[in-house]
Amino acid sequence: MITINSEQKKALMASLFGAAIEWFDFFLYGTAAALVFGKLFFPNSDPAVGLLLSYVTFSIPFFIRPFGGVIFAHIGDKLGRRKSLILTLSLMGGATVLIGCLPTYAQWGFYAPLALMTLRAIQGLGIGGEWGGALLMAVENSDKTTKSLFGSVPQMGVPLGMLFGTAALNLVGQYVSEAEFLEWGWRIPFVSSAVLVAIGLWLRFRINETPEFEEAKKKGKQVKIPLVATLKYHWREVLLAIGLKVVETAPFYILSTFVITYVTKTLELPKNVVLTAITWATITCIFMIPIMGLVADRVGRRRMYGWGAFILMLYAFPYFALLNTRDPVWISVATVVGLGIIWTPITAVLGTLSAEIFDPEVRYTGVTLGYQAGAALAGGTAPLIATMLMLNYGGSYIPVAIYFMITCVISLITINSVSGHKSQVESRSLA
C-alpha cells in the first residue's frame, strides 16, 4: 500500500500541473506550425519550403533549451528547485500569450517571422529549465519504493500538455471556418493559456523546497559553479543521460508532430483525422505512464526501459503500414499503440533513471544537460529530418522508418552502458 503525505501531494500536483501547462504551450506551437504558421508567417515560399521553415522555428527552442537549462539548473542547484520552477513557468507562459498576439507576415512583413522566432527562443529558455526542476520536485520527495512512480508523474505533463494543445486547436477548428481559423481562431488557445499559467504559479508558490536539496544545503555540499563541476567530474553521466533521451524524444515527435504533416499532406486526409488519433493516444498516455512507473518500482527501471525501446524499434514499419491504410480507425490504432502504449514505459522511467546517475548538488544541472542536449540533437530535428527524408525520397516512408529505428538502437546501446556504469542506476540511492 502506497502512502503519500500532504507535502508529497502538493509537490506532485505542482510538478504535474506546471509541467502540463509548459508542455501545453510548447505543443500548441508544434501543432500550429504544422497547420497554420507556414501560411501566415512564411507566405512567400512554396508550400513545401514554407512547411520546412515553420518546422525550423519549431526546432529553434530545442537548441536554446540547453542554454535555458544551464541558467535555471544553476538557480535550482544553488537557490532551490522551487525558485527555478516559478521562473520557468513565468517565462514560458508569457512568451506563449505574446505569440497569440503577433501580427502576421501580411500585417508586419519581415518582423512577423522574426518576432515569432524570438518568442519561440524564449519558450526554449523556459522549457529548458522546467523538466529538471519538475522531475526533481517529484523524485526528491519520494522514498525508495516509489521513485519510479513519483518520477513518472512529471512525465505525464508531456501528454497532458499535448492533449490540451491538440484538443484546443481541434475544438476551435470545429466551430469556425477554415478562413476564420487562419485569421483569428488559432490565437484563442495561445492567449487563453494565461489563465492556466496563473493557476500553475499559485501552486508552485505554495510548495516547500525538496528535502534532499535542503539536506545538501545544510551539510554544505553545494558546489560553487554546478555547470563546471558537472562537466569536469560527471561528463560520462551526462553522455549517458543524452543517450537515454534519444529514444524517448525522436520517435515521440514523429508519432505526435510529423504524423500531422504525413497524414494531411502525403495521405491527403482531413486534419481532424490525425488530431483525433493523437488525442486518443495522449489520453492513453496519461493513464499508462503512472501505471508503468508503478510497475517499474517492482520489476526494475532498466528492464522496463530496455524492453520499451526494443519493442518501439520493431514497431517502426508496422506503424507506417497502418497509417497508409488511410482508414481513420487504423490511423487511431497505430497512434494509440505507438504513443499511448509502447512509448509510455520509456518515458515513465527516463527521469528517475537520469536522476539516479547524479549527486544531489549537481543533479539539476546534470539531468538538465543530458535531457536538453538529447532533446536538441534528437527531438527538435526529428520532424525536420523526417520531412526532408520524405521530400528527398519521393514521399516514401521507408527512410523515415529506418531513421526511427536507428534512434531506438542508440538508446538500447546506452541502457546497456548504464547497467555497466560504476553508478548503476538500480543499486544506487538518491541520498
pTM value?
0.80
Burial group, residue 309, by CB count within 10 angstroms (0-12, 13-18, 19+): buried
Place of cell 504558421: 37
Per-residue pLDDT of the chain (431 residues; tens, 9 = 90+): 677 778 888 889 888 888 888 778 777 877 777 678 777 877 665 566 666 666 666 667 667 878 888 899 999 998 888 999 999 989 988 898 999 999 988 888 878 888 888 888 888 888 888 888 889 999 988 888 888 999 999 999 878 887 787 778 778 878 888 788 888 888 998 898 888 889 889 988 888 888 888 888 888 777 888 999 999 998 999 999 999 999 999 999 899 888 988 999 889 898 889 988 988 998 999 999 999 999 999 999 999 999 999 999 999 999 999 999 999 999 999 999 999 999 999 999 999 999 988 988 899 999 999 988 888 888 878 888 998 898 888 888 999 999 999 999 999 999 988 765 544 444 444 44
State residue 350 phi and psi, 5-degree precision: -55, -50
* pLDDT of 55: 63
* pLDDT of 428: 42
Cell representation of residue 240: 549517458
Nearest Cα to Cα of residue 59 among 99, 98, 117, 130: 117
Q: For residue 193, give the amino acid letter.
A: S
Asked if residue 288 lies in contact with residue 347, where contact means CB atoms within 8 angstroms, the answer is no
Cell representation of residue 103: 501580427
Asked if residue 324 lies in contact with residue 262, where contact means CB atoms within 8 angstroms, the answer is no
Task: State the Cα–Cα distance between residues 345 and 101, nearest whole angstrom.
Answer: 38
Cβ neighbour number for residue 424 with a 10 Å cutoff: 13
SS3 label, residue 384: helix
Nearest Cα to Cα of residue 72 among 8, 139, 122, 20: 122
Nearest Cα to Cα of residue 370 among 198, 204, 283, 244: 244
Q: For residue 295, give the amino acid letter.
A: V
Asked if residue 54 lies in contact with residue 187, where contact means CB atoms within 8 angstroms, the answer is no
Nearest Cα to Cα of residue 8 among 198, 146, 129: 146
Which residues touch 117 (CB under 8 Å, ≥6 apart)? 57, 60
Asked if residue 73 lies in contact with residue 225, where contact means CB atoms within 8 angstroms, the answer is no
Task: State the Cα–Cα distance between residues 383 and 58, nearest whole angstrom.
Answer: 9
Asked if residue 70 lies in contact with residue 368, where contact means CB atoms within 8 angstroms, the answer is yes
Nearest Cα to Cα of residue 121 among 57, 75, 69: 57
Q: State the maximum Cα–Cα separation within the chain, in Å, rounded to a whole number.
A: 61
Q: What is the DSSP string of 283-323?
A: HHHHHHHHHHHHHHHHH-HHHHHHHHHHHHHHHHHHHHHHH
* pLDDT of 124: 82
